[in-house]
Amino acid sequence: MRRTSRAAVPAGALALTLALTGCSGGPPDQDAGQARTFPSGTTMHAIQQRGEVVVGVKYDQPSFGLLNPLTGKPEGFDIEIARLVAEDLTGSPRNVRYVETVTSNREAFIEQGKVDLVIASYVVNEKRKKKVSFAGPYYDTGIAVLARRDDRSIRDAHDLDGRPVCVAQGSHSAEVLPKMVPGVRLVEFSSYSYCAQALKDRRVDATVTSESILIGLEQQNPEQLRVVPGYLEAEQTAIGFAKGDRELHAYLSGLLKEAVRDGRWGAAYRATVGKVTKQDPEPPEITL
């Protein structure tokens, strides 16, 4: 099964309320180094004036965005990318305020100005592009199937016909799967950690979403769960931000390309996802 991965880079926007439920990187780093400068009126300048970038991330996705119960801080590939952006914009990777987002509220958090960026396994599709803008991709993936390790009857998506399958509310998978397998019985939860538990409890027979998410769930449950080889559909994961912010788009695209060229992307991948996939990193082409 192909398991390549890619990473992200972000930067922020909008004056926003900071009384949010989320995990903060603490007060802005007063010992920050020299950051590049941006014109007044741009999102990048607003972030610099504030002293931190506010990023929507996931807290339940191993290897990408997972809240460490011991440290109380998020960690993973997406988190490393957020830190990379913070360092570029503010001079320190510690100047990030993390806000937990789930699949169903990512567009709303961007539109409401609760976050500058969303770096949370955010798959690009036409429906989402009507509400927000994207830069990237920073990770190439695809829709895949997670099944129980002791259930060998599921070899591909067509074996899900007539079976209960868990998806996240508002996910692209919830739209794609019924079109490919009309007889599937969808069970929706707010996050994939609930889906994984339902799968282990035998309340559902599979979970379908981006392989990047499923890799982490298999990592947490190696004796019980397995990713089924193959993709239902190829996907691109990118950084989400306020629709129409051209200056921010140009900045993020440029930063991602720099990170790929100078090795920062590869370092972030090897320190997180690469420890699970055991593969050499293969950066995506920044085309969005």
Residues 32-71 pLDDT 10s: 666 678 889 999 999 999 999 999 999 988 888 999 999 9
Determine which helix (DSSP H) or strand (DSSP E) holds 147, and give its type and residue range: strand 132-148
pLDDT at position 99 is 95
Residue 259 tokens read as: 């990170």
**Which residues are registered as beta bridge partners of 228?**
145
Give the number of C-alpha atoms closer than 13 A to the C-alpha of residue 78, restricted to the C-beta side.
33
Q: How far apart are CA 73 and CA 67, in angstroms?
A: 5
Q: How far apart are CA 249 and CA 254, in angstroms?
A: 8
**Which residues are registered as beta bridge partners of 207?**
146, 166
Residue 24 has pLDDT above 70, yes or no: no
Helix (H, G, I), strand (E, B) or coil at 82: helix
pLDDT at position 224 is 93
Q: How high does pLDDT run on average in the chain?
A: 85
The residue written with tokens 């790929």 in the block is 260
Determine which helix (DSSP H) or strand (DSSP E) holds 249, and give its type and residue range: helix 246-262
Q: How far apart are CA 201 and CA 270, in angstroms?
A: 33
Q: How far apart are CA 257 and CA 264, in angstroms?
A: 10
Amino acid identity for residue 244 in this structure: G
Query: In this structure, are residues 270 and 75 in contact, taking their beta carbons and an 8 Å threshold?
Result: no
pLDDT at position 33 is 61
Residue 28 has pLDDT above 70, yes or no: no
Length reported for the chain = 288
Enter the pTM of the model: 0.74
